[in-house]
Amino acid sequence: MKIRFLGLIAAIYSTCSIAALAEPVAWWSFDQDEGSQVRDLTGNGHDGTIHGPVERVPGLSGRALSFPGDPGAHVSVRHGGSLDFDTAMTLEAWVKRTDTGTRWDGIISNGAGNRGYQLFHSEIFQTLMLYINTDEQGYASVGGEHIPIGEWMHVAAVFDSEAEVARLYQNGRLTGERAFRGRIANHPEEFQLGASRYPFDGYRGLLDEVKLYGRALSAEEIADSYAEFAGALPEPSPAPEPVFGDLVAELDGEDVRFRFSLLEPDEPGAERQVSIYRNSHPRNDRNPGAGSADRVFRGTIESTDGETFEYLDESGVEHGTTYYYWVTPDGRNFRVFPAKMRVRHPEIWWNTERIDAELEAVAERFPGKVELRQVGETVEGRPLRALFAGNPERRVVLIGAVHVSESGPELIVPAVERVLEENPGLLEHTGIAALPCVTLDERERKLRTGYAMYLRKNANGVDLNRSFDAWWRHAVTDPEVQTYQGEEPGAEPETQAVMALLEQSNPAAVFSFHSVASIANAFYLYTGFADQEGDEEYVEHSREVARIYTEGMYGDKWEEYMIFRPSQNFGTVGAYVYKEYGVPSFDLELDNYEVPHRYVRGDAVSPELMEEFRHRHHQGLEALLRAFAEGELGE
């Protein structure tokens, strides 16, 4: 009797355990939700909050969420760590793309950068993709198949550390598989639906019936989950084959030269019937999609080599606008990542000619007070000219655009000019040396061609802010990596020009302007090697210099906005200045003042906002020069 009773208990326990395993850890159907809240139907507390322009629309049954492709439009989920799966997981969702995507269109994301796990539709590769970071294998991906536009598809991602595999399923069918070793690691703090953690990317489409399991579902279970709704849907259409690739759009004067290639080359002289579409947006981080694009060409184009095609779009362009181009064989099959090109506003982005003209204008306006001096040249032989004014024995040094797509001349030159105009007496105690733009070669290419993506390195492919002889080490050996520091320290001509500038300046403080796009303010990165050396006096002196500059910029609100942090990066300007001169040196990034954050990442800074920060940097520079003159910072 006792044996029978124990057997019954074991059977009940086993049944309950299996049932518990079969239950999702989180489940969002979006049917019972109101306002900005998204309810987790499991009762496990993984409720979410809608951010941005996410709408509730009719779904598979009940309602779904519709995402517009805006990187700020997503659902953030309170997970408390229980969605940080490590040894096994299954991610399920019904998706319906409504337009071409942005880049990495996040469906389910518990990752940031190379962390955790993320399920995407990749507009780049035109497939479903799962990225996972494991403690043994690092960050890797498995790819599936295309997700069509305009119809529902069930997608599932499975990870099983015991079987050492990750799998993708689409409409109940296995579409991708890859070996994975180890446990999922390094999860971020926030879990998101309908977005990736990449700043320019957002999912464009509908999302419904999202379920997460803490185990690896079998193929049969996934097929059953697909069948639950599949019977009420039209038969899935076959995915169109991709035809074109390598799309490039470049400025050609006031026109755009658009090039593309065949994925499978044809005979020389081959002709193709194509439709070319163009769309645009004033921001550089908002892909408006092909659905609302204008068709700029429909007809036959001939290829001289049977592979590449070219079209000159004479529709015209506008400053401060990003353009996207697609090509299709039939006006419907957009199975290609678009070409992207940006026409930058000439008041926000100065080219080499404009930088030279502005320097010459300042020198002519203040004869005898300003000297223009060549301190070196670029890889391609462009002269690097610096402006020197005031006391030659001691100078505040301003360095712009050590990284190509970052700030510099548009802030530096006007700020210096206003000091010369409004308070030149301050320069008798401490002068100024300004090198407005270090990376002239690549900036010129960026502006001439309309290259829309972020550029960091010089024409030799070296990150100049890792190339100085200060705690330098050959840590990045792959030249393709953005932070590649070259083969040896101090070898780049631009690096040598900055060193010459410093040598000719006897610096009292050095400010290197950074931050994506055209504005940097009161975020001060100083070299962490000072902390490593235990140099508390240097750190405190640097903090005081930063405080004075920030107070000049913002007045009584300076404490709200200022950020002061160490940087452990080797080979930087700041590390070199500390090693050679022992004076405060900063990389300036974006501080806590929220206004620039709204515009800088999208390269959407207006002339009015630029003028505001020219004024603020002028005020900060004057405050610092006054502090030196009055002995507030010592000698």
Share of the chain above pLDDT 70, in %: 96
Q: 443 is written with which tokens?
A: 């900036």
Q: What is the mean pLDDT of residues 126-147?
A: 92
pLDDT at 15 over 50: no
CB 271 within 8 A of CB 302: yes
pLDDT at 634: 67
pLDDT at 20 over 70: no
Q: What is the mean pLDDT of residues 125-133?
A: 94
Lowest pLDDT segment from 76-90, 245-259, 361-375, 379-393: 76-90
pLDDT at 412 over 50: yes
pLDDT-derived band at 11 (thresholds 50, 70, 90) equals: very low
pLDDT at 22: 63
pLDDT at 16 over 80: no
pLDDT at 368 over 60: yes
Q: 335 is written with which tokens?
A: 């199975």
Average model confidence (pLDDT) for the chain? 92
pLDDT at 2: 31
Share of the chain above pLDDT 90, in %: 83
CA distances from 353 to 92, 319, 382, 437, 627 (A): 55, 18, 11, 12, 35
The pTM for the full model equals: 0.90
Q: What is the mean pLDDT of residues 441-455?
A: 96
pLDDT at 19: 39
**Coil, strand or helix: which one is 494?**
helix
Candidates 466, 350, 340, 356; CA nearest to 403 is 466
Taking only the tens place, the pLDDT of each residue in 39-74 is 999 999 999 999 999 999 999 989 999 999 987 899
Taking only the tens place, the pLDDT of each residue in 313-353 is 999 999 999 999 999 998 888 999 999 999 999 999 999 99
pLDDT at 7: 38
pLDDT at 582 over 90: yes
pLDDT-derived band at 633 (thresholds 50, 70, 90) equals: confident
Find all residues with CB under 8 Å of 455, minimum gap 6, and list them: 403, 404, 405, 442, 446
Q: Is 356 exposed, middle or buried (0-12, 13-18, 19+ CB in 10 A)?
A: middle
pLDDT at 10 over 80: no
pLDDT at 491: 97
CA distance 162 to 51: 37
pLDDT at 13 over 70: no
pLDDT at 635: 58
Candidates 554, 533, 530; CA nearest to 543 is 530
Q: What is the mean pLDDT of residues 551-564?
A: 97
Q: What is the mean pLDDT of residues 9-19?
A: 35
Domains of the chain: 19-230 (2.60.120.200), 244-343 (2.60.40.10), 357-629 (3.40.630.10)
